[in-house]
Amino acid sequence: MTTATDGADDLKSLFDPDMAAAMARMVEIVEEKGLTPPPPNPDPIYVRERMEDERAWWNEDLPEMAEVLETNIPGPGGDLRLRILYPEGDRPMRTIVFYHGGGWVIGSLETHHRAMRCLAIRSGCAIVAVDYRLAPEARYPGPLEDCLAATRYVMRHGGELGLDTSKVVLAGDSAGANLAMATALRMRDAGEDPAKALICFYGAFGVDFDTSSYDRFGDGTFGLGRAMMVWFWDLYLRDKADYDDPYAVPMKANLAGLPPTHLYAAGLDPLLDDSVSMSAKLRAAGVPGQFKVYPGVCHAFINLTRMVKQAHELIDDASVVIAEHLD
């Protein structure tokens, strides 16, 4: 006879050992901080604050940078904050414009700070991290317009900041990967150079919530769940028409003419099939790039560099690809 305990043990067996230890640490952090489970349809501000609390430990013990510059540029909704991370090296520097994840609703430059520092050091690139507006206060296309404005600013004025504007890559994780691809699509359609490559970590590209990966990993056991993704999309998009907008939902876009696009996915992620399907669409459209799945790890694992070796492997793999395009 199969019991509920047997099922839990089966799920635990899927975890990479580092990932299992990281999940246990997440539980400890929640207990240490006295955090209560979010209610159904929670207040986005509460969820943002909770994420900042949960991610604080993961962003301690930061690797050293040569310089960290905080600056504001003109944005569609007012001042737009950029954080530029400079590793050691000569300037002007090769550049990664990075859009953080968080379902367009949560997440910040702080929740992703350690991962971005690691990526800057491994790649030898300056990272321009974009503090775009969040939904639902700024629904689509607000966050995308911010990312587009920041990218265009880097392309046109990056030299003033010690950035090599001829060697730029766009990157992001989860909703940030969606924004990276949408930014490239908008720039392509405007006749602009959309950068040398796209680097997409476990992207949210489509709105099919009945894929096999959603069915297998979407109950919340592995962190991100189906209900949360539905909530994110509902807060990001304005109405039903947006679900068919290719800049909001890149899975519905004509992908031909994008720069080389590299996709990296987590093996225990409800969004895994988003990357599988997007990889097939990109290759069918003639867009070259790498696709790799990291087994036994969950969504957002790039932010677990303090405990998960595959987070560093992911950063190393992306850094090699970035160097191939920019050197």
Over residues 205-227, the pLDDT tens digits come to 999 999 999 999 999 999 999 99
Q: How many domains does the chain have?
A: 1
Own/partner long-range contacts of 218-224 (Cβ < 8 Å, ≥24 apart): 218/270, 221/11, 222/268, 222/269, 222/270, 222/298, 222/299, 223/23, 223/298, 223/299, 223/300, 224/269, 224/270, 224/271, 224/298, 224/299, 224/300
Q: How confident is the model at residue 10 (pLDDT cuts 50, 70, 90)?
A: low
The Cα–Cα gap between 155 and 157 comes to 6
108 a catalytic residue:
no
Of the candidates 100, 113, 262, 299, the residue annotated as catalytic is: 299
pLDDT, tens digit, for every residue of 12-67? Answer: 689 999 999 999 999 999 999 999 888 888 999 999 999 999 999 999 999 999 99
174 a catalytic residue:
yes
Evaluate whether residue 1 is within a structural domain: no
Of the candidates 269, 273, 274, 317, the residue annotated as catalytic is: 269
pLDDT at 38: 82
Evaluate whether residue 3 is within a structural domain: no
Check which CATH number belongs to the domain holding 48 and give it.
3.40.50.1820
pTM over 0.85, yes/no: yes
- Owning domain of residue 40: 14-326
269 a catalytic residue:
yes
Evaluate whether residue 131 is within a structural domain: yes
Evaluate whether residue 52 is within a structural domain: yes
